[in-house]
């Protein structure tokens, strides 16, 4: 099924509100310890004039409860969205997702052609070798602050 960004907007918002309410109710008991860590964090370089790019990383959950990335931000761009890329017939199409799950005792890899963090409204060119800081918010309210190394990536989108 083909789906534009619009189909995601309302259910995603509702899910976020419900989930936030639930998380608030249980947060005092549940998640006092950060169990999710990030590694291999990088962002595709973006020359002057290019308004978007994407961040890739591996998230590992050492806990016994699945955790979900629900939002993110970076000073390097106006907006950060959680995205996935899927094959739709012969086309690769990307769309926003409301959250990215990090399974209990497991990991999830954000990579070109799959899940990624999409940056919109880049505030300056990103040059290979530079570092930007990315903040991710989990469903239990914890935040993950990680440096992302700017790397060149030829030929592939995003
Ligand atoms: Cu994207």
In a domain, 109, yes or no: yes
pTM for the model: 0.76
pLDDT at residue 105, as a whole number: 97
Q: Tens of pLDDT along 77-126?
A: 999 999 999 988 989 899 999 999 999 999 999 999 999 999 999 999 99
In the reported structure, the alpha carbon of residue 106 is separated from the centroid of ligand 1 by a whole-number distance in angstroms of: 24
In a domain, 45, yes or no: yes
In the reported structure, the alpha carbon of residue 131 is separated from the centroid of ligand 1 by a whole-number distance in angstroms of: 20
Domains held by the chain: number: 1
Where in the sequence is the domain holding 104, given as residue range(s)?
Answer: 5-151
Q: What is the CATH number of the domain that holds 45?
A: 2.60.40.1890
Q: Model confidence at 6, in pLDDT bands (50, 70, 90)?
A: very low
In a domain, 157, yes or no: no
In a domain, 101, yes or no: yes
Least confident of 23-27, 70-74, 148-152: 23-27
In the reported structure, the alpha carbon of residue 81 is separated from the centroid of ligand 1 by a whole-number distance in angstroms of: 8
pLDDT at residue 153, as a whole number: 73
Cβ atoms of residues 158 and 112 within 8 Å: yes
Cβ atoms of residues 152 and 129 within 8 Å: no
- Taking alpha carbons only, the member of 116, 153, 151, 148 closest to residue 132 is 148
In the reported structure, the alpha carbon of residue 83 is separated from the centroid of ligand 1 by a whole-number distance in angstroms of: 5
In the reported structure, the alpha carbon of residue 94 is separated from the centroid of ligand 1 by a whole-number distance in angstroms of: 5
In the reported structure, the alpha carbon of residue 2 is separated from the centroid of ligand 1 by a whole-number distance in angstroms of: 15
């Amino acid at each position: 099924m083909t789906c534009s960004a619009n189909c995601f907007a309302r259910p995603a918002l509702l899910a976020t509100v419900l989930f936030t309410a639930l998380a608030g109710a249980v947060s005092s008991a549940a998640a006092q310890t950060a169990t999710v860590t990030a590694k291999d964090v990088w962002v595709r370089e973006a020359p002057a004039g290019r308004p978007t790019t994407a961040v890739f990383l591996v998230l590992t959950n050492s806990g016994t409860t699945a955790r979900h990335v629900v939002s993110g931000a970076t000073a390097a761009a106006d907006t950060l969205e959680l995205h996935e890329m899927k094959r739709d017939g012969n086309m690769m199409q990307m769309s926003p997702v409301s959250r990215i799950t990090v399974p209990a005792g497991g990991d999830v890899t954000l990579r070109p052609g799959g899940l990624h963090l999409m940056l919109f409204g880049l505030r300056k060119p990103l040059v290979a070798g530079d570092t930007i800081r990315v903040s991710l918010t989990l469903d239990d309210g914890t935040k993950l602050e990680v440096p992302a190394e700017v790397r060149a990536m030829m030929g592939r989108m995003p």
